[in-house]
């Protein structure tokens, strides 16, 4: 793709298992919106996407803004990105603010209990990352990622502190 210096218009801070795949499909179908070719760029967070059996794929963290801009076509459409990792990584807010200070942000969230159960099922049956019963995790490891990803207030605070109320929904 070609590159220009236009900023990113919006960024979705999606909770994992909260409907981001559906949202990406809906946004891709809109003629005035442009997303990168892959669902998540993993540009602002070193956490990559799941592969099977608990491994993570390559993150694009550490690449420069020119690389990020090259993920978009040069045209007049609104540019956006959707990621489930930016919300969970508390350092992403600073990285995003440094790179795109005027970007509009919105969070897509889900009932935390339903979200945790969905992630648990994914990690147990799709990625084989988790083998324990869910209730054992709740009892023995209350700070497990499956449970912590539903602590939305803690995750949103860094964004609320850095971005104005007119920039975040």
- From CA 42, how far away is CA 67, in angstroms rounded? 12
Residue 41 CA to residue 97 CA, distance in Å, equals 17
Residue 82: alpha-carbon gap to chain centroid: 6
Per-10-residue mean pLDDT, the chain, length 169: 80 94 96 94 77 55 92 95 91 96 97 95 85 92 92 96 94
pLDDT at 61: 85
For the chain, the farthest-separated pair of C-alpha atoms sits apart, in whole angstroms, at 52
Q: What is the structure's pLDDT at 162? A: 97
Count CA atoms within 13 Å of residue 85 on its CB side.
18
pLDDT at 62: 85
Per the DSSP assignment, residues forming a β-bridge with 106 are 12
132 — alpha (psi -120 to 50), left (phi > 0) or beta? beta
């Amino acid at each position: 793709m070609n590159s220009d210096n236009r900023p990113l218009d919006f960024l979705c801070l999606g909770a994992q298992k909260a409907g981001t795949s559906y949202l990406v499909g809906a946004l891709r179908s809109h003629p005035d919106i442009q997303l990168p070719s892959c669902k998540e760029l993993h540009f602002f967070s070193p956490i990559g996407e799941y592969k099977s059996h608990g491994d993570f794929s390559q993150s694009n963290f550490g690449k420069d803004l020119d690389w990020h801009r090259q993920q978009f076509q040069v045209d007049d459409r609104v540019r956006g990105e959707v990621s489930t990792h930016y919300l969970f990584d508390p350092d992403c807010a600073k990285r995003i603010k440094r790179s795109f200070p005027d970007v509009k942000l919105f969070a897509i969230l889900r009932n935390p209990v339903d979200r945790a159960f969905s992630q648990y099922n994914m990690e147990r049956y799709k990625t084989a990352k988790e083998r324990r019963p869910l209730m054992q995790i709740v009892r023995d490891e209350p700070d497990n990622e499956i449970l912590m990803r539903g602590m939305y207030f803690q995750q949103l605070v860094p964004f609320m502190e850095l971005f104005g109320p007119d920039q975040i929904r």
